[in-house]
Chain A
Amino acid sequence: MISLLLRDLKLSVRAGGGALIGVLFFMTVVAVIPFGVGPDLNLLSRIGPAIVWIGALLAALLGLDRLFQTERDDGSLDLILMQEHPLVLTVLVKCLAHWVANSLPLVIASPLLGLFMNMSEAAIGAVAVTLLVGTPALTFIGAVGAAVAVSLPRGGLLVSILVLPLAIPVLIFGVSASYAAVQDPAPFMPPFLILLAITMFFAVLGPLGAALALRNASD
């Protein structure tokens, strides 16, 4: 399992892995927003947390189709399916590796983008913390979509369509927790804890569903 984790990490960081493309995409999306709404710093600081969250959501979706696709292309998916370890565990490890390679850079990049958006320190910290807690849920939900679409030749767009509706709760609670940290009357902890609960929940359900779909998708 550890070796699988390391293998996936190496594969995604090395040439052709495309892990850092996600960060680049994230920055580009966030940088495009001021062109759309105008460079009004007050407005940007107000909608900043939401924009950073949406950017992270889109960037997390971007890399999802690679989760099982490359394995299927070179045939190692069949080996993974045949090995003795429970498939659910393997999928969980693959999700973790994917998260470390693709989503953790987004979390690290988010404070910088928060500065661009003229957000206060509290808001920047809150967005980073909620992203840290919330992005694993996106990866786990996305694993189901990626496993479902693994046998399709161009499943990338379909994965996004299938996964986005399921990811809405994560977005809602992530953004509301970030705003709660800035605005006084709203408490920070309840939405944050619900976000944590959603992540835990999908850490169980996501790999289970993905393993089921992988078994059924292989012929």
Chain B
Amino acid sequence: MTQSLAITKFSDLANPTRFLNLSGRILPWLGCLTAALFVAGLYLSFTTEGDYQQGETVRIMYVHVPAAWLSMMCYSVMALSAIGTLVWRHPLADVSHKAAAPLGAAFTLIALATGSLWGKPMWGTWWVWDARLTSVFVLFLMYLGLIALNRAMDDPSKAARVSAVLILVGFVNIPIIKFSVEWWNTLHQPASVVRLDGPTIDPEFLIPLLVMAFAFTFLFFTLHLMAMRNEIWRRRVTAQRRMAARMASRES
């Protein structure tokens, strides 16, 4: 019963007007929550002690690691929306994965840039062709390719369906890319927070890191909702313009 209720609620959202109303009500709260989390996270990350070895540069981690997590989560959100597009023809799913691609590219760029800044003092070089770096760079290229594909087509629903196929193929391929490059060459440290035997990172660093991670996640969802609303409005404006042009040509 609850499940069917959830499904009907979800398909109610297919109506863009309802979505606009709901997201308009949620957005201020989400924005405030994001701002509060960022204030707390930034305060924590600047007041905790620096690492005895890395000194102050360890604070780069509080931006770098959440951005890297978000770059992967964004692709997962896009893949879910792509399934929504192809299986249920959910009109909001089209909007969702189109709106998420630039966000994902931005988060990936942040992760790459901060990683590069962190790598210079720690490893002595801006960039190495290491497994993790290479696969994130490939992810960045895939985001850019998807944006380019979306922009290359006029018809938004066709562009959405076609890029959904590509998103899904890329989603299957991401683990392959990750493991192939991992097998190839490695300098970046392995995962130290999400592990079966508990995090190996000191709580002194873990708490600000987690707060920042939540802040980034909420930032992503806030921006994503805003981008989706923009996209819906943009489509409506285009439709209205087309209609106006048609009326004008009929009158003349």
Contact = CB atoms under 8 A, between A and B. Distances in A.
B148 to A, nearest CB: 6
A151 B153 contact: yes
A60 B168 CA distance: 23
B152 A168 contact: no
Contacts of B98: none
A161 B170 contact: no
Interface stretch (B100-108, B118-126, B176-184, B206-214): B176-184
Contacts of B145: 158, 161-162, 165
B152 A144 contact: no
Interface in A188-219: 194, 198, 201, 205, 209, 212-213, 216-217, 219
Interface string B58-97: 0000000000000000000000000000100000000000
Given A148-B149, A152-B153, A169 B173 contact: yes
A92 B170 CA distance: 19
Given A152-B153, A217-B158, A144 B165 contact: yes
B128 interface: no
B44 interface: no
B153 A166 contact: no
B180 A172 contact: yes
Given A158-B149, A212-B86, A168 B158 contact: no
A173 B180 contact: yes
Given A166-B173, A216-B161, A216-B165, A172 B153 contact: no
B184 A176 contact: yes
Which secondary structure dominates chain A's binding surface? helix
Contacts of B158: 151, 216-217, 219
Contacts of B138: 165, 168
Given A151-B158, A212-B86, A168 B165 contact: no
Contacts of A209: 165-166, 168-169
Contacts of A216: 86, 158, 161-162, 165
A144 B148 contact: no
A9 interface: no
Interface size class of B (residues with CB under 8 A): 20 to 34
B141 interface: yes
A149 interface: yes
A219 B161 CA distance: 12
B34 interface: no
B163 interface: yes
Give me the 6 closest cross-chain CB pairs, A-B, nearest first.
Answer: A216-B161, A169-B180, A213-B165, A162-B145, A209-B169, A165-B141
Interface of A: 141, 144-145, 147-149, 151-152, 155, 158, 161-162, 164-166, 168-169, 172-173, 176, 194, 198, 201, 205, 209, 212-213, 216-217, 219
Given A148-B163, A152-B152, 20 more contacts: A141-B169, A145-B166, A147-B165, A148-B149, A149-B152, A158-B145, A158-B149, A162-B149, A165-B141, A166-B173, A169-B176, A169-B180, A172-B181, A176-B184, A205-B169, A212-B86, A213-B162, A213-B166, A216-B165, A217-B161
28 contacts: A141-B169, A144-B166, A145-B166, A147-B165, A148-B149, A148-B163, A148-B165, A148-B166, A149-B152, A151-B153, A151-B158, A152-B152, A152-B153, A155-B152, A161-B141, A161-B148, A162-B145, A165-B177, A166-B142, A168-B177, A168-B180, A172-B180, A172-B181, A173-B180, A209-B169, A212-B86, A216-B86, A219-B158
